[in-house]
Structure 1
């Protein structure tokens, strides 16, 4: 593989941060698939990106902070936190584990298990 695939996985996220859906799509194979724990099952990358586009209107900014990353010759597994600032002023975080599989230097498969938590919740850690 040419470029470090760990860097490529992060570059995919940076393109999403910039709402560069076409740039993200260009980093994927023609047959790339996505699975997410949102209950929608497996989708093509095109279907997933089309579902993300309308969400942009309610999001003022988003930022992925990669906490750790593991890779082998054609796979990347990483843990990250997605920080969201909404247009209404609210904020949130999505904690996730994401898997990328590469084929011919392009993303061929993405799997994401995510859990959303409100960033402004100061009761986190309180016990009843």
Structure 2
């Protein structure tokens, strides 16, 4: 059954771009987890969303450019570049590969492998 999980993964990123963390939460299972290669280890989704919310005053805008996306069964893997703009006009790019695992129609796990490419 095709549940268009590829489009759901993209929708999740668009919600992050608009800082709508509560809408992101509704797209995920109650026990959803997040892993990031920044050394923090695995986190509950709610913990990760609180951390992202605390960064909002430091970011004027976020925009994801998805460069490639693959999906199979209940999994989506995509390459992307996150463009950030800060209140002082600073710009940066974060290159990443992001993995989404779905349980039914909801995201159950997110993994992100990222590195900052530097300021522009």
- Consecutive unaligned residues of structure 1, counting only runs of 5 or more, are 121-128
Relative to the length of structure 2, the TM-score reads 0.97
User: Counterparts of 1:93 and 1:61 in 2: how far apart (Å)?
Assistant: 12
Cα deviation, 1:93-116, whole Å, max 9, x if unaligned, reads 000000000001100000000001
Count of residue correspondences: 120
Relative to the length of structure 1, the TM-score reads 0.91
Contact 1:100–1:109 at 8 Å: present in 2 too? yes
Structure 1 stretches of 4+ moved >3 Å: none
The structure that has the greater radius of gyration is 1
What corresponds to 1:116 in structure 2? 116
User: Counterparts of 1:3 and 1:23 in 2: how far apart (Å)?
Assistant: 19
TM-aligned CA deviation for residue 3 of structure 1: 3.4
TM-aligned CA deviation for residue 2 of structure 1: 5.7
Match runs of 1:1-128 below 5 Å: 1=1, 3-120=3-120
User: Counterparts of 1:118 and 1:3 in 2: how far apart (Å)?
Assistant: 37
Alpha-carbon RMSD: 0.9
- Which structure: greater strand fraction? 2
Secondary structure of the 1:118 match is: strand
User: Counterparts of 2:45 and 2:70 in 1: how far apart (Å)?
Assistant: 23
